[in-house]
Amino acid sequence: MEPSIKIHCLIVPSKPTPLIGDLIEYKGKSIPLPSVTGPESLDFDGNGLGPYTGVSDGRIFRWNGHSRGWAEFAFPLPNRNRTLCDGNVAIDVEELCGRPLGLQFHRRTGKLYIADAYLGLLVVGRSGGLAKQVATAAEGQPFLFTNGVDVDQKTGIVYFTDTSSLFHRRDWMRVMVMADATGRFLKYNPSTGKTTVLLRGLMFPNGVALSKDGKFALIVETTTKRVILYWLKGPNKGQVRTFAQLLWTPDNIRTTSQGDFWVAVSSPGSDVIGVKMDFQGRHTALLWRTSMNDTVSEVKDHRGRLWLGSVESSSVSLSTI
């Protein structure tokens, strides 16, 4: 039975969640991209290869090591205009070429799910190539700003966000300035092809991360600087609450292999780029760096090293510690 759709109304804590852990200085090296920008999100396949990342011209690239570098893995649209799109870095062309933001593998099947800001929810097989649209609307409302995505590795259910029902990604600042509350949290069932709205009335829903046991999902709400918890299973199924309140503006959120969460954050004048939280929402670490040329959109923990994605940068960063 599908959970009922809820319009959430949460009380924002008067004070941000306190830090109970460590301050970590990020020391990393950059891996430049080939004539494109904006590696928003990062993931590794079931064999540990990658990272894979979506970039400004609509394609997905895979890192094959320093000897082979980056290579195209997937692309959207069967009639893609490569002359116009390949190598594009202009935001006004994104609608024609696609703009992948969040991405996540279902490791058992090898399928990569992609939240494309303009084209909706896409999927591509383990061999790459053409990414196919699997969801472009829900309840008759087209997706205008598909953003974050995560996959339940046991069930294959895909959870994702649509940031706004009024504005496209190119107008992302208007979503925040106007306090747009038309965002939605959704799920897609590959077995049935059905897309269901789980939450509506969200203010810039962004990154999504499932708990390690799959019992709840965390949704970043950028405008309000908070992380929302939505129960997927158990006696509280369908209920929602504030999980953490942040001082900084959050973007993507990722689950670590230990069951913690990394939230990428940014704020003018601050060196903080990430907040690590435990399963209770307590801030257990702050990640910071002295060089702040580009904002950080994602902190990905893979095999004990931290990888940084950035919607502004022309490279991916890898920690050297």
Which 8-state DSSP code applies to residue 234?
Answer: S
Burial of 320 (0-12, 13-18, 19+ CB in 10 A): exposed
User: Token pair 């953003």 is at which residue?
Assistant: 147
In what helix (H) or strand (E) does residue 177 lie, and over which residues does it extend?
Answer: helix 172-177
> pLDDT tens, 254-307?
999 999 999 999 887 779 999 999 999 999 999 998 876 789 999 999 999 999
**Class of residue 91 by CB neighbours under 10 A (exposed 0-12, middle 13-18, buried 19+):** middle
Pick from 194, 169, 166: which is nearest to 182 by CA?
166
Residue 13 — pLDDT band, cuts 50, 70, 90?
A: very low
Displacement of CA 31 from its chain's centroid (Å): 20
Flag whether pLDDT at 7 surpasses 50.
no
Q: Which domains does the chain have, with CATH numbers?
A: 6-15+38-250 (2.120.10.30)
Predicted pLDDT of residue 123: 98
For range 71-96, the mean pLDDT: 96
Q: Are 144 and 167 in contact (CB under 8 A)?
A: yes
Are 195 and 135 contacting, i.e. CB atoms less than 8 angstroms apart? yes
Of the two residues 22 and 107, the one the predictor is more confident about is 107
pLDDT category of residue 321 using cuts at 50, 70 and 90: low
Question: Cis bond leading into 190, ω under 30°?
Answer: no
pLDDT number for residue 291: 74
Residue 84 backbone dihedrals phi, psi, to 5 degrees: -80, -40
Closest of 314, 304, 308, 311 to residue 115, by C-alpha = 311
Round to whole Å and give the CA distance between 176 and 172: 7
End-to-end C-alpha distance for the chain, whole angstroms: 47
Percent of the chain scored above 90 by pLDDT? Answer: 87
**Nearest-10 Cα torsion for 230, 304, 44, 313:** 90
Q: Give the pLDDT confidence score for residue 22 in this predicted structure.
A: 86
Q: In this predicted model, what pLDDT tens digit does every residue of 133-162 receive, in sequence order?
A: 999 999 999 999 999 999 999 999 999 999
Q: How confident is the model at residue 292, as a pLDDT?
A: 67
User: Are 52 and 43 in contact, with CB atoms under 8 Å apart?
Assistant: yes
